[in-house]
Structure 1
Amino acid sequence: MKILVVEDDGMLRDAINSVLKGEGYNVEETDNGDEGLFLAAQEIYDLLVLDIMLPGLNGLGIVQELREKNIQVPVLFLTAKDSIEDRVAGLNIGGDDYLVKPFAVAELLARVKALLRRKAGSSEELVVYKNISLHHKLQEAYYESMPMGLTAKEYELIEYLILNRERILTREQIFDRLWGYESESSYGIVDVYVHHLRKKMLNLGCDHFIRTVRGVGYMLKDDRHV
């Protein structure tokens, strides 16, 4: 799971990053609203953790613009203790939850996990599409209860495809999601890992789920009846 943290307080941002990474989440960060909007608009994150008061565009403005673009990524707002109006405004424009500063680590993790479960639309550990199921804790995918035997990166790939099932993902989106903007690899590595994943799915008779959208990217969809 990939999380974007937009917070201008360096010490708090570092603390949040440390906590989330310690739980195994892939975390990216920025300290200003304009870059936060740019990153969030790439649609490669499962959750946004947004401070409301930010340099440049504030957290409310970020969410408003995302919702206008029909980007429905879950948002956890961070708010000051006395800003009740901001909390109400944040929920009204499309935020999903909020935390009042200062907050306990346990509460942050509980809110994050709840929003991610809601996004997956499933139980805490299991995500299902057709006859494919993912067990996040085990980092494994199954087809009709048979394990695919995936590497960590292959699991991240199929998880991202399933969470965005029946939607075209560009090579750039997949690359930014799995390897990040600072990676020295090229977009071609996406095709390599899709090939590896397809081979393992072929062994179980389910490689038809991954569709190539020529010149664009990939989509996970059961197209046997198309």
Structure 2
Amino acid sequence: MKIRVLGIGMGPQHVTPEVADALRSSDYVIAAEKAGSDGLLAVRREIAATHGIEMIAVPDPERDRDNPADYGKVVTDWHTARVAAYETVLRDRGGTAAFLVWGDPALYDSTIRIVEQLAARLSAEFDVFPGISAPHMLAARHRIVLHPVGDPVHITTARRLREDIAAGQRNLCVMLTGNLDLTGLDDWSIWWGANLGTASERLVAGQVGDVWPELRRARAQAKAEAGWVMDVYLLRAPAARSER
């Protein structure tokens, strides 16, 4: 038995030749199916069909997404439930299974962690193929460098944004945004993008205080068009040096 973790960027147009070859060498794709309309599942289904691979949709276990007190435990429990659901399919089907991961599997995605557990349970091999990440897409769309000359970029999540700013971070790439809250950051610069690389893509850039109304409208439009929204943004303090 073998499991492949394949980064697919933001959709079919970002499937690299390497990933396409790995997909075609698989027997089937496993994908989580969320309750209700699932636009992301539809894209995975399109990719699998394009390469002539069967896709098996597995109902995704529920998790608490309303800012739980013990976020780590909630995520761990969710992963455990996912492992159990996928294991049932893998034991039944065997062969080579592929997981199609949005963006790159190494950045704010837990598929590798889940597959590690599956591989141990099933005595299976697994490999990983990279994809185009959301931060890379954001930088390309805005034609910017993610960090000032000689300075770092801090990649984080919206959940940790205030904590990271309080700790002194001045140049942050923010993912897993959920509810977008930039209160008190009016003089910071932002380069924002939603649903990058898709037909519902939206881009906004400028000082937060100046572009906030436009950004909120663009986010709502992206969600209305696609039925979902995945956004990422670079946030830079006014005193930071800017080099593009």
TM-score, L = length of structure 1: 0.28
Larger radius of gyration: 2
- Structure with the larger RCO, 1 or 2 (CA within 8 Å, 6+ apart): 2
